[in-house]
Amino acid sequence: MNQKLTNDHKLRNLGHTLLLIGSMALLLALISELLFGEGVWPWVFAGVILAMSTLPDISPHWLLRLYQARRIYPNEAPDLIRLMEEIGRRTGVSPTPTLYWIPSSTSNAFSVGSRDDSAIALTDGLLKLLNPRELAGVLAHETSHIINHDMRLMNLADLISRLTHMLSMIGILLAFISLPLALLGMAPLPLSGLLLLIVAPTLSALLQLGLSRVREFQADLSAVRITGDPEGLASALGKIEHRHASLWQRILLPGYRDPEPSLLRTHPDTAERVRRLLELRDEAETLARPIFPGIGRNTRLPDSFHTLRSPRHRLFFRTWH
């Protein structure tokens, strides 16, 4: 493992995270001062922080029931559970995230919850697609989201973005109502303020997407530090990317499912993720002893795990992928 590159990537991801969340906060502060006057924005942020610290976390097990997920018990997939326990031991997370199976043929995984009560969901398609070495990388990636508190960070970003959008809409409505007075010169309407109200929701949403991509890079890096195997996760990402598009889509629509420009993506480009992962290889030194061989040789689930269906779109709940 290339220690210097690892540290460089970690510092870069931290800097990008602070810059993006700070920019979102600045937008909200500007909108607040524009609508309510100077000195109001500290109270807005105090309210946001209070809401984030006092609102209880949604139980991951309740949330997974919306996907009709089924818990994977040790007697049903002992090697997969041992693999998860080894990753939990290396990260120090306690209790170990609970594994769930989702009856979908798509290839996906996501984590929910906090360090004290977390779960990782794996689709049937993913379990059938990946070998144990690749599954170790995916599980480590999802565990990294948990230990890095990415769910709470993204919830904070989502709250700031929603507040920015709400206040911008209120500001535009007030500007529209006062338009007759502005035309009579009785209530001057600053064009710069009106422009800010118009573009702020879009800018905040783009910053939120950028933050999501940065946290994905950081989860990749943390996963490699856990498993000591960048090639395992890189191989898993390549397989998942290839599986998501059918043969005719790959031939006729090579850019299918990849929003352009890249600013509109929630996840970084897979090729870039793989490139960064493979840069971390270094025969001379390792950050962690690779998990394999010896753990998770067989991840096959019992025959009772057999129902397949297309995933349902969830409009009101967001999970971390």
pLDDT tens readout for residues 178-232: 777 666 666 666 778 889 999 999 999 999 999 999 999 999 999 999 998 899 9
Residue 298 lies in a domain: no
pLDDT, position 42 = 82
Specify whether 260 is catalytic.
Answer: no
Q: Which of 86, 134, 142, 231 is catalytic?
A: 142
303-309: average pLDDT: 58
Please check the confidence at residue 307 and state whether its pLDDT lies above 60: no
| % of the chain surpassing 90 pLDDT | 40
Give me the torsion for CA of 193, 194, 200, 202, rounded to 10°.
-160
Q: How many structural domains compose the chain?
A: 1
Within-domain flag for 288: no
Could you tell me if residue 221 is inside a domain? yes
- Which residue segment(s) compose the domain that 35 sits in? 3-279
Whether 312 has a pLDDT exceeding 60, the answer reads no
What pLDDT, on the 0 to 100 scale, is given for residue 248? 45
In a domain, 302, yes or no: no
Where are the extended beta strands (E) located within the chain? 70-71, 98-102, 109-114, 117-123
User: The whole model's pTM is what?
Assistant: 0.82
Residue 182 lies in a domain: yes
Considering the domain boundaries, does residue 293 fall inside one? no
Class of residue 320 by CB neighbours under 10 A (exposed 0-12, middle 13-18, buried 19+): buried
In the prediction, which pLDDT does 48 show?
A: 74
Q: Which two tokens stand for residue 128?
A: 């059938």
Per-residue confidence band for 292, with pLDDT thresholds at 50, 70 and 90 = low
